[in-house]
């Protein structure tokens, strides 16, 4: 049906038109196979790499769809966002020649703030959460006569996000299950609408961070639930309140919703970086985290696709997560012991560590604040090992060499 007949009819024909209309600007992101993840899950698993989309996330699709509706009569657009919606709206507005303002949380990632400004938008950094920023943007729209663009609770935005599902229908012939991150539900609603209308046999399962999972709770209880906290490394899906439009759509079209813990998200981010060479933010990695943690099982036949919804992660946070994951996996450890405070005392310890094929990253003498014998010094070592078994062998070797080692 033509786009101008019914702006609220999210039928498959309209979703196809929206995807085609955005194609000159929004990339058709690749579906990437992963042998290592498939082996680990015991099934065929692939990634829909929206982290490679222009502006770094799927959000560009919804922004383009919305601006096509309003650009002729609008004085400009305004939005509230943690970063991905802000970047995408700023990019789309610049392409359309429209003024753009965005409200972003006080703790928004520096990289996302810089990207939004680089696309020409005026940034107001206010509010403690996405919800507060959305409220501030609504007020600004009323004051300045701007068009408010909701990050997810909008029919046009949902229709645009559905392009991810349209591409999966066309690109994965044996598609059987799709796992999609849920924040406010715009992407999940759009993907589910596209897949269930074109390929009703495909399961669509949503994933939220356990630390902020109001949609999972709302669907489980059958009533609106607002999350008390939005503290999660998956900040792109840290939305406290389900959307008035998206919640009913998700209730109707999703097959299930799962939640994942922070450590599972961190593991997925690091695995994607190491094995697939993909930089994926916490929100985007939640879909893979659900598979790795067992929160969602892959389809027994055909292909399971995990949608990697975004890649806009602060470099400092990514480094901290990588370090945390290495420690959790037993590949990095901090050891404390004491050695003779005489020439050769430290060298003997380092020789023992080297003999165990471990790598010393940092060495620190500790003489104050710990009980030590006379003529002894404390030594704190940060070491790299291959895995937990290697770390255990290192500790055994050091104990066998006479060192009383404590591992943090």
Q: What is the pLDDT of residue 2?
A: 40
What would you report as the CA-atom Rg of the chain, rounded to the nearest whole angstrom? 25
The strand pair at 332-340 and 406-407 is best described as antiparallel
Closest by CA position to 248, among listed 214, 219, 221: 219
Name every residue whose Cβ is closer than 8 Å to that of residue 407 and which is 6 or more positions away in sequence: 333, 334, 335, 336, 391, 395
**pTM of the predicted model, to two decimals?**
0.87
The number of residues in the chain equals 408
Token pair recorded at residue 155: 């029919």
Q: What is the pLDDT of residue 1?
A: 34
Packed helices 59-70 and 84-96: angle between N→C axes, nearest 10 degrees: 40
* Rounded Cα–Cα distance for residues 175 and 190 (Å): 17
Query: Hey, what domains does the chain have and what are their CATH numbers?
Result: 12-57+156-324 (3.40.50.1100), 59-152 (3.40.50.1100), 330-407 (3.30.70.260)
* Rounded Cα–Cα distance for residues 81 and 146 (Å): 16
Token pair recorded at residue 99: 């003024």
Q: What is the pLDDT of residue 8?
A: 60
Helix (H, G, I), strand (E, B) or coil at 370: coil
Token pair recorded at residue 348: 């003997």
pLDDT tens by residue, 197-247: 999 999 999 999 999 999 999 999 999 999 988 889 998 898 888 999 999
**Which residues does the chain have with pLDDT short of 70?**
1-8
CA-CA-CA-CA dihedral for 278, 213, 104, 59, to nearest 10: 50
End-to-end Cα, the chain, rounded Å: 63
* Rounded Cα–Cα distance for residues 273 and 192 (Å): 28
Question: What is the DSSP track for 82-134?
Answer: SSHHHHHHHHHHHHHT--EEEEE-TT--HHHHHHHHHTT-EEEE--SSHHHHH
Q: What is the pLDDT of residue 4?
A: 43
Q: What is the pLDDT of residue 408?
A: 78
* Rounded Cα–Cα distance for residues 343 and 357 (Å): 23
pLDDT tens by residue, 260-319: 999 999 999 999 999 999 999 999 999 999 999 999 999 999 999 999 999 998 888 888
CB of 147 closer than 8 Å to CB of 141:
yes
Sheet holding 147-148, edge to edge: 122-125, 100-104, 77-80, 147-148
* Rounded Cα–Cα distance for residues 113 and 80 (Å): 12
Sheet holding 332-340, edge to edge: 359-366, 376-384, 332-340, 406-407
Alpha helices (H) along 260-403: 262-275, 282-293, 315-328, 345-355, 388-400
Closest by CA position to 293, among listed 321, 264, 314: 264
% of the chain with per-residue pLDDT over 70: 98
Q: Which helix (H) or strand (E) holds 243?
A: none
Token pair recorded at residue 315: 């470099």
């Amino acid at each position: 049906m033509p786009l101008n007949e019914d702006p609220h009819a999210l039928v498959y024909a309209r979703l196809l038109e929206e995807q085609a209309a955005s194609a000159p600007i929004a990339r058709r992101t690749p579906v990437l196979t992963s042998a290592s993840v498939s082996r680990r899950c015991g099934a065929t698993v692939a990634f829909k790499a929206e982290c490679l989309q222009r502006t770094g996330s799927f959000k560009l699709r919804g922004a383009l769809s919305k601006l096509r509706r309003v650009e002729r009569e609008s004085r400009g657009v305004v939005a509230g966002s943690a970063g991905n919606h802000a970047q995408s709206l700023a990019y789309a507005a610049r392409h359309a020649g429209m003024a753009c303002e965005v409200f972003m949380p006080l703790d928004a990632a520096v990289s996302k703030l810089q990207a939004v400004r680089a696309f020409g938008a005026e940034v107001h950094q206010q509010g403690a959460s996405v919800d507060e920023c959305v409220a501030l943007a609504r007020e600004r729209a009323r004051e300045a006569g701007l068009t408010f663009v909701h990050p997810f609770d909008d029919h046009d935005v949902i229709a645009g996000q559905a392009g991810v599902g349209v591409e999966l229908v066309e690109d994965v012939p044996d598609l059987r299950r799709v796992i999609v991150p849920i924040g406010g539900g715009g992407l999940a609603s759009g993907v589910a609408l596209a897949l269930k209308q074109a390929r009703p046999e495909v399961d669509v399962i949503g994933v939220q961070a356990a630390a902020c999972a109001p949609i999972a709770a709302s669907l489980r209880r059958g009533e609106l639930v607002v999350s008390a906290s939005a503290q999660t490394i998956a900040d792109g899906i840290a939305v406290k309140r389900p959307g008035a439009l998206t919640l009913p759509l998700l209730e109707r079209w999703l097959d299930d919703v799962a939640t994942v813990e922070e450590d599972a998200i961190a593991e997925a981010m690091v695995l994607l970086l190491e094995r697939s060479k993909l930089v994926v933010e916490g929100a985007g990695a939640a879909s893979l985290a659900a598979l790795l943690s067992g929160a969602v099982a892959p389809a027994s036949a055909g292909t399971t696709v995990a949608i990697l919804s975004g890649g806009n992660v602060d470099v400092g946070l990514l480094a901290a997560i990588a370090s945390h994951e290495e420690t959790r996996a037993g590949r990095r450890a901090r050891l404390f012991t004491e050695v003779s405070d005489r020439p050769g005392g430290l060298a003997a310890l380092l020789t023992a560590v080297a003999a165990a094929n471990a790598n010393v990253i940092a060495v620190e003498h500790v003489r104050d604040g710990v009980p030590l014998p006379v003529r002894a010094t404390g030594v704190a070592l940060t070491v790299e090992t291959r895995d937990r078994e290697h770390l255990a062998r290192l500790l055994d070797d050091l104990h066998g060499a006479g060192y009383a080692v404590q591992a943090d």
